[in-house]
Chains A and B, each alone.
Chain A
């Protein structure tokens, strides 16, 4: 064995030093804007929020360490904390399933081979890009007791009219109905999923004599479960963070009927200047959303089919 071959042997045995090729670096350069933005504007605030949840920070100056006091206050002394949790769960229970069902149904209809499909797809997506304030003003008129279109429909059906935004029992259903306004994004994702289902499966099912509902529940729905799963996760996260509509339309009222968690957090952060307490609320929200996402993810083994 020559000295050279011995050296090569040692080099071969030595643990290879990880190296990054110049062309790989180019990839990192491309993602650097996102990476920098993520670290500065997402990760740093998350870490900072976690730290400040243990302080009485007012976001502008004072930040004394207060231990678990903020968490204790939320869980034991703040009367609006549990109200806002309750209202948020109500909103999620109503808006997420309804949103997924409506978006999926619309996607099925728009996946049909009919004239003007492109037009309809655009129309149904359009509300998703309308500014929230403008949408809320439109919805206030829709919900109006005397001249609103919803009550007009109820009257046509011979049903009593509803004071949608001033009755504590109906304000949250009104918000849930309004949440359907922005199902366009989920609908587009469902549509993409539907178009990815191989046509041969339907043809084979038809040959075997499957009718429409059998094809829907035997082929479409199972093959769409990954998309449903994705929209479910996204819908849950968005619903936990719902804020704008309640903030502009009802400001949490009447009688706290629409006091969503984020609204309560906002009040503490920006109206009372209690950023430390608001940070604790945000951390708890993060933990709950994270936990639920993990649970849903784990459950996906049982109902999501990837092939």
Chain B
């Protein structure tokens, strides 16, 4: 008689189902938000109890993209914050830029999202519209915070349907409103080192400073851009708009829009040798690093955002530069120099809806620290020599000492307009990108390309508003 022990099929299947169930539960369970060194990892809900009510430590995980030299600065703010709030523990979760959207998305989709997540304005509006982040309007009112201290164009970026979802840091403006020149290159070319003020002046100066050979661009005067972001920047210096004021229709294919794109195409073809040469020129220096043409004296002008001051300090402090307002179309009597705020990079800090209510108060305190408190949010900007969305901070004498063109930076911020966008704007921007490329590569005329894009974008707008209704 065999002494082998047998297991019935039913028993086996039940055992496997049990194993799977345990696995599934383990997979779905929230990760312990407490640091490993903590004596025990209480359940999320218990652990999340309001700090004031229970005296327990609440962990606020801060999902952000302040990397490199900024990590240390953030850590200093955290240390300062934790002194004021000994029962709130802030974890600095600095995230790499690579696959930023995917990682943020995965973090939000988990059932244990970080308590505070850094997101662009376009993302914030999308998340707000879908009810995936919580408004902070009530918390701001309860604490009596004075939102007037921000530039209107900055704080206005973070409202959706009358509710406020974040306060700004850094500025969403100061992205497109300036032109930076390399004074040494101007002088070497026999030009007065003064930033051009109009499209027409830019054309002349750009032509004088650009060198193209049979392999492409050797030295560039200015790249007026080959993307939607560049187009939008120039559009507003020609008195154009992306959308109508009520956000019900697209407006970028207006006569001003067509004229703007035509000018960009003409400039790129006639001065820079065509879009292909321009793309090729920037192949190895797209990100902020010392390989960029700007840091190698082969780019005479550029249209930077305010982070450039920090990068210039890091990569080439000896660079001789000057600053002006972004050139406008002098042939259009209604046009003026102005930048746009909130179209692409206006950063906010949001509390995901998945964060337990008991933890939101702690999350808001941290958001307030890094956006509203001048000794933290303002200090962080000063350390990077970039302007703050808080007006008073920008009057700090340090700025005037560190940046000889500080008054021009502030003038640029003052000229910025907060561009109205809707939650599906990223899709529209990509559609306009396609149009700009189509015109640049000569597959369509600027008018055809923009009209085609407008038709697609309008369909998205209509679909969005009909879903809202």
Contact = CB atoms under 8 A, between A and B. Distances in A.
Given A40-B27, A166-B276, A271-B101, A21 B130 contact: no
A273 B130 CA distance: 10
B102 A270 contact: yes
B284 A141 contact: yes
Counting chain B residues whose Cβ lies within 8 A of the other chain, the interface size class is: 35 or more
A80 B433 CA distance: 13
B19 interface: yes
A72 interface: no
A17 B207 CA distance: 88
Interface stretch (A55-63, A89-97, A201-209): A55-63
Given A60-B130, A62-B130, A271-B426, A144 B441 contact: no
Contacts of B284: 140-141, 144
Contacts of A80: 434
A156 interface: no
A247 B437 CA distance: 18
A272 interface: yes
A19 interface: yes
B147 interface: no
A35 B13 CA distance: 13
Contacts of A269: 102, 105
Interface string B405-445: 00000000000000000001011001000100110010100
Interface of A: 17-23, 25, 28, 32, 35-36, 39-40, 58-62, 79-80, 133, 140-141, 143-146, 161, 163, 165-168, 247-248, 253-256, 266-267, 269-273
B283 A166 contact: yes
Contacts of A28: 12, 16
B23 interface: yes
Contacts of A19: 6-9
Contacts of A25: 7, 12
B133 to A, nearest CB: 10
Given A19-B6, A141-B284, A247-B99, 16 more contacts: A20-B6, A20-B8, A25-B12, A28-B12, A39-B20, A58-B132, A60-B105, A60-B130, A60-B132, A79-B456, A140-B283, A165-B279, A166-B280, A248-B98, A254-B276, A269-B105
A135 to B, nearest CB: 14
B350 interface: no
A21 B6 contact: yes
Nearest to B226: A254
Nearest to A163: B280
B126 interface: yes
Given A145-B215, A270-B101, A21 B7 contact: yes
Contact of A58 (B5, B130, B441): B130
A306 B149 CA distance: 78
B8 A273 contact: no
Given A144-B284, A166-B283, A255-B441, A61 B215 contact: no
Contacts of B98: 133, 248
A141 B19 CA distance: 50
B108 interface: yes
Most buried by A among B4, B24, B279, B283: B283
A165 B6 contact: no
Closest 6 A-B residue pairs measured CB to CB? Answer: A166-B279, A166-B280, A36-B23, A19-B6, A270-B102, A163-B280
A163 B280 CA distance: 7
Contacts of A144: 283-284
A272 B426 contact: yes
A260 B276 CA distance: 20
B353 to A, nearest CB: 8
B109 interface: yes
Contact of A267 (B27, B131, B216, B430): B430
A254 B12 CA distance: 56
10 contacts: A20-B12, A22-B6, A60-B108, A61-B131, A62-B130, A79-B434, A165-B279, A166-B280, A253-B437, A270-B101
B18 to A, nearest CB: 11
Contact of B443 (A20, A255, A272): A255
Given A22-B6, A167-B276, A59 B283 contact: no
B465 to A, nearest CB: 16
B283 A168 contact: no
A32 B27 CA distance: 15
Contact of A273 (B5, B23, B126): B126
A43 to B, nearest CB: 11
Interface string B249-292: 00000000000000000000000000111111001100000000
B212 to A, nearest CB: 12
Nearest to B22: A36
B105 A270 contact: yes
A273 B132 CA distance: 12
A146 B214 CA distance: 11
A34 to B, nearest CB: 12
A20 B9 contact: yes
Interface core residue of B4, B8, B216, B279 (most chain A CB under 10 Å) = B279
A163 B216 contact: yes
A118 B290 CA distance: 40
Contact of B215 (A32, A35, A141, A161): A161
Nearest to A59: B109
Nearest to A147: B284
B275 to A, nearest CB: 8
B23 A165 contact: no
Interface centre among A18, A166, A256, by most B CB within 10 Å?
A166
B161 to A, nearest CB: 16
B102 A32 contact: no
B9 A40 contact: no
Interface in B105-148: 105, 108-109, 126-127, 130-132
Contacts of B4: 21-23
A40 B215 CA distance: 53
A286 B299 CA distance: 47
A19 B13 CA distance: 11
A223 B261 CA distance: 60
Nearest to B15: A25
A163 B276 contact: yes
Nearest to A18: B9
Contacts of B12: 20, 25, 28
Nearest to A24: B7
